[in-house]
Structure 1
């Protein structure tokens, strides 16, 4: 196996200056893209519908291989049945060997279409994986060995969700996988098309791209294998097939996005090893809160709420149960939260840096008010010191011992949460909403600007858990990317940039728009939407 070197001749002083420049660029981007009560971050001003990017990447003239479909209605075909949603947090399902069937299902239950929606005048697709504005910037590529029924040789492919198929970009010479990688494995790589989200959200879109990417990690929380730290030269010799389709007639370039994307690239760290911690089950305080839904039913039927009804109430035990599944370390008797032991946070392979400020609106048995979930308890003393001195930091009544949830201040936060989330009713009309508060500049200082996207990756995984939990207990949820950054910090008493709000979320009873009709995911209409 030949490895190409990405290292270059650079002095220690030049490296320090480069790191400083990247750090400053990242902080500048984050500050520049904040929303304020008096001014929003720069956006397109209006939506140019004639140039909306095609949501489906295709490679023209690349061979397309159709994958197997697995409708939920046919789940009885699986030997041993499909596990209930709540059970996968207690023990991991047994792994499957790689076959045409298991390979197909992997993509069907993570990246495929889940439905089509139509009003009669317009039609659009939904996917298993959520995305800000349903814009889906993320593309998936696969490097795999020969798989019976799929390919007689190893291959590099692009996943086409509309077709639920693989576009074969190149064939890999025989023996390559045997020399380079462990048996019974394949690789999935993600790339993102910035323009798909920048078309709507402008310069702030770079933040949303990270969230969307890590929601996929929430699905694909499987053991990651060691791979070479530098590119394998043989890939440059492959015969590549297919040309990418044109996504829109015109393309607006947001320079700050591309400049910052360079600043946050992770450098090559020689000798770095990826260690997957042992699995730890999550805590249980109200298993009866969950509907009798299989994990596939929850994953494929999850939907993002457009409006909340303002009346649905959940019991505090259900609220506590949802939050127990939001903890990175699971239920470990006597140990602090912080390490990524629980599903799906094991996919992150680093300590938690994200907490949650919760606005509780409609939870029976729990007073309305502002609460805080400490997801890394090593930050507890620092958080308490950084936030308002009048906050009580009381454990709420009936709260499980292993749930680090604290009541900060009682009171009706409905209007406050709406105002903070760009005056959106959905933030106050649910059962609860929250802001995800990251341990920000100290993390960037200690590790590098490359941690900036990884902070958003963690908020994306946390958001994915909330999406699935909401559906599993019979309600709904949606992410909120539009919020006033510094006013959130002011409410909490946070000053400076040690802690920053990165993403908001709301959970509650959805309003169903009866004017919209659902259609099956496959076969879908012959449109790109």
Structure 2
């Protein structure tokens, strides 16, 4: 039997770590004949074409234009890579390996524009497929344990995961990447709502089985991951107060020996919330919701990160274009990054209150940012000494904890990817996993990775708008990251975002 003092979340995290001594022995050759299609199809339903509403034609219905923009900026197709067969489509939200495990559903309570029912967003054709015509809002409220945000809203987005799309490549570790990808998508939805006079409210505490049944999922293949009620800010009654986003589960300490290949499924089932429509939930936001700086290293070098906010242009046009044209960087030039640009990336990710005048949400929903910490390994930033820094978002400063250029070590830590070696700065998101489990139970593993992905997506967009390159990295030697960079050992590494100059952009700059 596994160690009964270790919860299933800790067990999963240890089992799915990459280790330099075992990674090659555990790696499996991909069966390309089984590569999953990243689009869901239905044999029935009625399609609503959203493409005509992408234009700014003032004669078209404004509500439909807003919804069309919201969906295309969140998860729509933005490009295609030619292959010998069907092109490999790119989307506005990044995904590990370009596998796109997430599906997006829209639930309507019944509005003058959209009849009550269930809709799937068909990204390939930018259409809404109505596959169930019925009033299911009360069932949604019950599955969400009567979250008060659903009392006055009329629409809700549900994000699901089709597990095998990621499992095909990443095996049991895919669970981490699924929730990081969902965090990217949540970040896009939040920002796209700000551009379209909507406001998304995040719900991570729901009865999994009830929600899966509502959407007719085969739970072995697909599961609900997050619910986002969408408030229409043009309607006064939908300007809603914030509510608690995360609910706890009891830690699971007693579980059998789980074979490789079955760990993801078992872990997902073990972190579900049972359906109790009579449960009394305190949905009030906890008073200590403000992020506090966890580490205050004595006598360390401190660098302020105060800076002017990024200008997203009139009506957030610059943000919209960035979301559509963003691409993950495949190679960095190794050239230095101006310190002001690193500060701006951190500012947009962590200081949303600086963007109120640009009509962005001053308090976007996360699950619990107090649980997520940030470290930055600097290898080439002007006016900033090389080394590893802790980023203190409340104080808005970088605190140096290691004095060294880590390019060679970062190349190793990132599984030999040149991105790790050539980046100017690499951001690490971490969490004290045991402490997080004490607060929220094993379900917190979902929350942590979605929050890390959300922060990573804000950094992606900020970097792209500034003309920088950014790439999320979900594969790394977990324990060695802490040892090499001096990150406290009880901090579990969740996600990495590499920042730097794109190789092709640097080449064009030299040519000019």
State the TM-score, normalized to the length of structure 2.
0.73
Q: In terms of mean alpha carbon deviation, does 50-59 or 115-124 score higher?
A: 115-124
Aligned pairs for 1:91-490 (under 5 A) are 99-118=63-82, 123-148=87-112, 151=114, 153-173=115-135, 182-183=151-152, 185-221=154-190, 222-224=199-201, 254-266=261-273, 270-273=280-283, 275=285, 285-287=307-309, 294-311=318-335, 313-327=336-350, 330=353, 343=361, 346-375=364-393, 402-490=395-483
CA 442–111 in structure 1, closer or farther in 2 if over 3 Å, else same: same
Q: Answer whether contact 1:305 1:477 (CA < 8 A) is retained.
A: yes
TM-aligned CA distance change 1:43 to 1:104, over 3 Å? farther
Give the count of matched residue pairs.
Answer: 426
Secondary structure of the residue that 2:428 maps to in structure 1? strand
Q: CA deviation at 1:404?
A: 2.9
Q: 1:160 to 1:259 in 2, by over 3 A?
A: same
Deviation at 1:494, TM superposition (A): 5.2
Cα 1:287–1:483 change in 2 (3 A) is same
CA distance in 2, matches of 1:228, 1:415: 42
Partner Cα distance (1:314, 1:193) in 2: 38
Cα distance in structure 1, aligned partners of 2:346 and 2:204? 34
Task: Give the unaligned 5+ runs of structure 2.
Answer: 191-198, 223-258, 292-304, 506-512
Aligned partners of 2:119 and 2:64: how far apart in 1?
14
Q: How many angstroms does 1:208 deviate by?
A: 0.4
Which shows bigger deviation, 122-131 or 205-214?
A: 122-131
Question: Is structure 2 residue 510 aligned with structure 1 residue 500?
Answer: no
TM-score computed with the length of structure 1 as normaliser: 0.70
Which residue of 2 is the match for residue 40 of structure 1? 23
Q: CA deviation at 1:30?
A: 0.5
Q: Which has the larger radius of gyration?
A: 1
Shift of 1:101: 2.4
Q: Which secondary structure does the structure 1 equivalent of 2:90 belong to?
A: strand
Alpha-carbon distance in 1 for matches of 2:382, 2:462: 18
CA contact (8 A) 2:332 2:500 kept: yes
SS in 2 for 1:304: coil
Cα 1:131–1:174 change in 2 (3 A) is closer
Question: Could you say which structure has the greater relative contact order, defined with CA pairs below 8 angstroms and 6 or more residues apart?
Answer: 1
CA distance, structure 2, for counterparts of residue 290 and residue 368 of structure 1: 30
2:427 alignment partner, SS class: strand
User: Partner residue of 1:517?
Assistant: none
Match of 2:41 in 1: 58
Q: 1:202 to 1:110 in 2, by over 3 A?
A: same
User: After superposition, what is the alpha-carbon deviation per residue over 1:3-39, rounded to whole angstroms, capped at 9, x for unaligned?
Assistant: xxxxxxxxxxxxxxxxx97962221111011011211
Shift of 1:371: 1.4
Q: What SS does the aligned partner of 2:423 have?
A: coil
Let me know the Cα RMSD of the aligned residues: 4.0
